[in-house]
Structure 1
Amino acid sequence: MVGEHLAMRNSTFFRSVNLIAMSIGMLPIHLMRRLANGDTEEATDHPLYPVLKRKPNDYQTALEFKSQMQTAALLDGNAYALVVRGFRGRIISLIPLKRGTITPLLSDTYELSFRYNPVGGGSRILPASDVFHFRSMVTLDGLRGISLLDVAAQAIGIAVQAEHAAGRLFKQGVMAGGALETAGSLSDTAYARLRESLEERYASAENAQKYMILEEGLKANALTSDPDKTQHLETRQRQSEELLRFTGVPRPLAMLDDTTWGTGTEVLGQFFVTYCLLGWFVAWEQAVERCMTGNEPDTLYAKFNDGALLRGSLKDQADFFAKALGNTNPWMTQNEVRGNFDLNRAKGGEELPIGGKAAAPAPANPEVTPVPPKEPAK
């Protein structure tokens, strides 16, 4: 039986789950609002905004909440949180529900509800508006996501058995590097002297590469490596690769390969975001819209700032923003560029540059027209 405790003891599986959960947890979710003129803005005045971005409940930070929910969605396929409402039904808190206590139900009229079975006993039905349900993107019934522990159970089990085999090899296997043989027999004195010299004069790293003095016709024979033992490493390597296929984490990010620190690492990070995290970003955003936007589903939506993970080097960013500001047809303002680096807005930075030149800053007091100085009298 492959359970979560056994699976999380595998270094490759733990690294993959931890990397995805950590990446999701550290990025903030912004609650956005669509305006009538087609623009968008952060809905900072909405009560759900601080719940998603800063404080989901009284005992967790936003990072801890999202990491816990993401881990549950990976292991079980589903993560549930109780939606706590305050005055006028406003959402004031999200409390993660214990795993295995919630079951989604779909009635004959296609109305969604949830059966809640607390640990202390009892059972009650919760309406869909009281439960935030975040699930895996792969589902067979449209209600429950597929558990990673279920689909990867065989790969995890083989990896665990390979670990156990390696442990037995180091615990019970013969690790001798060679043997001493003689055509005759050793005297008790020669045997005791040989054993003492092996233990005291030739053991440990300090005595590496020293030559031994053999007596009474002894010959040293090195033992060759057992092919079955060397295959343990190949088996463990192969199972690590198999687990990564289930999670979508690239090999170097699971620390299976050495990689050059530089542009290759940047491309690798972009690959990880695009082909592993991006699907989870969309799943989070649409789960928030489905469960918590209430009467404003057409105007409110959630958004991850995945651009922070997709940024290249400082040189690449400088080249991109220089083109965005300095092109003959610029498409970004100074304040939009500054916003990408969490910098405060600059005065006069709301206008698009004209003809590749930055917009002139507005005067300190636009109502007062500056008077040119008078020429001195001759």
Structure 2
Amino acid sequence: MTALIVLIGGAIYLFFYFTYGRKLQSEVVRADKDRLTPAVRLRDNVDYMPGQKMIVFGHHFASIAGAGPIVGPAIALAWGWLPALLWVWFGNVFIGGVHDYLSLMASVRYDGKSIQWVAGKLMHPRTKYIFEIFVLFALILVIAAFEGVFARLASTNPTVGTSSFLFLVIAVIEGLLLYKTKLSFRVASIIGVLMLIGAVVIGFVWPFLAFTSVRTWYVLQFIYIIFAASLPVWIILQPRDYLNSYLLWFGLALGGVAALIAFKGFSWPAFTTFSAATIVAGKPAPFWPAVPLVIACGALSGFHSIVASGTVSKQLDNELSGLFVGYGAMFTEGFLSTIVITSIGAFGFVVLANFKEAVTTAGVNLDQFILGGKYLG
């Protein structure tokens, strides 16, 4: 069953990428390889910097694939694994992937301007200001959430802080290898991946960044944010996400192979209810219209338009690369969510049963967790 689901998911994404995606590219976007992109036409080697297609894909994929495509599908299993899978597959193909691709190309056609600016241009000037205010507060919330998670992790586990620090140093080196040396793209990539593996190993063997203060990690992160936002994209932003995508690829490959060779049936129910399943914080919610809010990354996420228009559109070297970067990265994220649903559907009860004594001792009601994700809100 696990192998069948993974194969069906992969086949759906491949089929629609080469059919529906190509139709969008030729008939809706009308992409033209001879039309100069903003990255080429407005190149300043700071924000506007054309990158190799795989590098830009890695940057976009790593930027959109955070915790969302993992946590969201896990919560949505309260409705059953089948509704969650159908939304991840077809919601992605016909809505999420289209949204990502078209928001990217809309920005490309308007000199790499933000999606807020494009909305104001095409709809009404007032729309731009409303959208900008919303995006500002949304990004503040996102930064605060991830800052808090990382600060707590790094303060209690020096391996996290050490590997992350080394990873940033490696990203700068990788940027220099890609753009300031005569090394080929393949050689520079291999060196970067080897350095990335070394950073992880050193983090486990010699975790030298052992700051136990959460506040210290908050300060360090804010300093990093200022530098990352100010430096040219090729120095840290682009190579950082490109290398980070290899971690995601490794996880995808590992999960995909495990699902293929497991040949295990689903222990989780295919369907529970379309009405009031207890999803988050013990509150009941119907499958529709709640599912787009629960499974955002992996099927449909408006945040992706901020990424696509904020940085990615300024790095696209050719309009024909937009389908691979925008549509393709969203499909890859959907495949990640497919593996998450498959893994939990097949092994979720087994894993929870193995840890039942431990979580009960910690004061967690496992039955409530299984029935509705009570502790995920």
TM-score (norm 1): 0.24
Which one has a larger percent helix, Structure 1 or Structure 2? Answer: 2
Q: Which has the higher contact order (CA 8 A, sep 6+)?
A: 2
Which one has a larger percent strand, Structure 1 or Structure 2? Answer: 1
Larger radius of gyration: 1
